[in-house]
């Protein structure tokens, strides 16, 4: 890293100066204002533990070039020029990916995995929750709580949904908010990846979905299955209740959740027997 305190470029020792480039984005969503020192952007963007480890492990290439130089021990027969046998010179240069290459490749991988039904997000450390966050993109209590993605449109939608809760959602929220339910922290209308879930407990990677009558429609059920498949691919556990279960059989519903949490704890961190994720 070379810097004058304002401008800052990063590269490898063996690469030429032309391969030293500024890091212009903290999270890959947009370039930071040119009025912010490049050194500050590089420290927050490239040198945070997650990005730096990812760069070192996956975004360094070694380029070899071979050239021939005359050998002083094998002069040309005529004694003129460099027609004799030469010495092969091999040079290896380590090149580091630029910021736009790093973010573009990670976005492309995420899109491919998402389209294939699998998803392993690349994480922005500013989105991690709690002190147990791992620099390898996994949390010791169960991974990244937003699925590694942030969409401003979805976040705005989640805020609106919180203002328009159904009676069942409002009832459940009053029962679990402020860690009332076994000291567990629940979020309501919470974004995970490309979806918004009704309630989410990050500690157990537990998703509670409350279904109204619309979820009895076949087309909606197909959508729910796709959503559940995506959520469980991230290691989450999904429990679905009808609104009536919450409103009419509240005690039994909470008891079922408590029993499942107890079962998971006895079976191992977040597991149901040998099953690490699934829909209940």
Tens digit of pLDDT at every position of the chain (280 positions): 888 877 888 888 887 888 888 888 887 878 877 778 888 888 888 888 888 888 888 888 888 888 777 666 655 555 555 454 567 778 888 888 888 888 888 888 777 766 665 544 443 333 344 434 333 233 334 445 555 544 445 566 566 667 778 899 999 999 899 998 888 999 998 988 878 899 999 988 999 999 988 888 988 899 999 999 999 998 899 999 999 999 999 989 999 998 888 887 776 544 433 344 555 6
Q: Which CATH number is 181's domain given?
A: 3.40.960.10
Phi (first) and psi of residue 27, to 5 degrees:
-125, 0
Token pair, residue 182, equals: 């076994």
Beta strand residue intervals within the chain, DSSP E: 2-3, 8-9, 60-70, 86-96, 186-192, 195-201, 206-211, 237-242, 278-279
- Domain assignment present for residue 141? The answer is no
Tell me the sheet residues that pair with 241: 210
Same domain, 177 and 94: no
Angle, CA 260 vertex, CA 257 and CA 265 arms, to 5°: 125
Contact 135, 53 (CB under 8 A): yes
Domain that holds residue 251: 151-279
Nearest to 151 by CA among 193, 184, 190: 193
Task: Determine the Cα–Cα distance for residues 121 and 130; give it in Å rounded to an integer.
Answer: 18
Nearest to 148 by CA among 66, 230, 207: 230
- Domain assignment present for residue 119? The answer is no
Phi (first) and psi of residue 160, to 5 degrees:
-65, -40
Same domain, 95 and 160: no
Domain boundary among 101, 119, 142: 101
How much is the pLDDT for 31? 82
- Domain assignment present for residue 241? The answer is yes
131 by Cβ neighbours in 10 Å (0-12 / 13-18 / 19+) ranks as exposed
Number of domains in the chain: 2
- Can you list the pairs that 164-170 forms with residues at least 24 positions away whose Cβ atoms lie under 8 Å? 165/189, 166/210, 166/212, 166/243, 167/243, 167/247, 168/210, 168/212, 168/243, 168/244, 168/246, 168/247, 169/198, 169/199, 169/210
Task: Determine the Cα–Cα distance for residues 145 and 239; give it in Å rounded to an integer.
Answer: 17
Same domain, 155 and 275: yes
Nearest to 42 by CA among 13, 16, 4: 4
- Domain assignment present for residue 135? The answer is no
């Amino acid at each position: 890293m070379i810097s004058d305190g304002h401008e800052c470029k990063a590269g490898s020792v063996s690469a030429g100066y032309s391969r030293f480039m500024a890091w212009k984005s903290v999270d890959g969503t947009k370039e930071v204002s040119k009025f912010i020192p490049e050194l500050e952007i590089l420290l927050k963007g490239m040198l945070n533990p997650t990005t730096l480890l990812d760069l070192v492990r996956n975004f360094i290439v070694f380029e070899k070039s071979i050239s021939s130089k005359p050998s002083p021990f094998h002069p040309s027969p005529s004694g003129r020029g460099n027609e004799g046998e030469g010495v092969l010179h091999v040079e290896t240069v380590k090149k580091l990916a630029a910021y736009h290459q790093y973010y573009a490749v990670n976005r492309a991988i995420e899109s491919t995995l998402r389209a294939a039904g699998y998803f392993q997000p690349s994480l922005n450390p500013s989105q991690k929750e709690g002190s147990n966050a791992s620099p390898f993109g996994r949390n010791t209590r169960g991974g990244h709580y937003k699925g590694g993605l942030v969409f401003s449109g979805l976040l705005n939608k989640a805020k609106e949904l919180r203002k328009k809760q159904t009676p069942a959602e409002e009832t459940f929220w009053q029962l679990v908010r402020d860690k009332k339910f076994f000291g567990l922290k629940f979020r309501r209308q919470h974004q995970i990846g490309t979806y918004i879930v009704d309630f989410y407990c990050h500690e157990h990677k537990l998703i509670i979905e409350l279904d109204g009558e619309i979820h009895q429609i076949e087309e909606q059920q197909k959508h729910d299955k796709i959503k559940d498949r995506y959520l469980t691919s991230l290691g989450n556990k999904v429990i679905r209740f009808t609104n009536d279960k919450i409103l009419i059989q509240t005690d039994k519903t909470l008891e079922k959740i408590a029993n499942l949490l107890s079962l998971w704890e006895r079976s191992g961190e977040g597991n149901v027997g040998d099953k690490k994720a699934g829909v209940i």
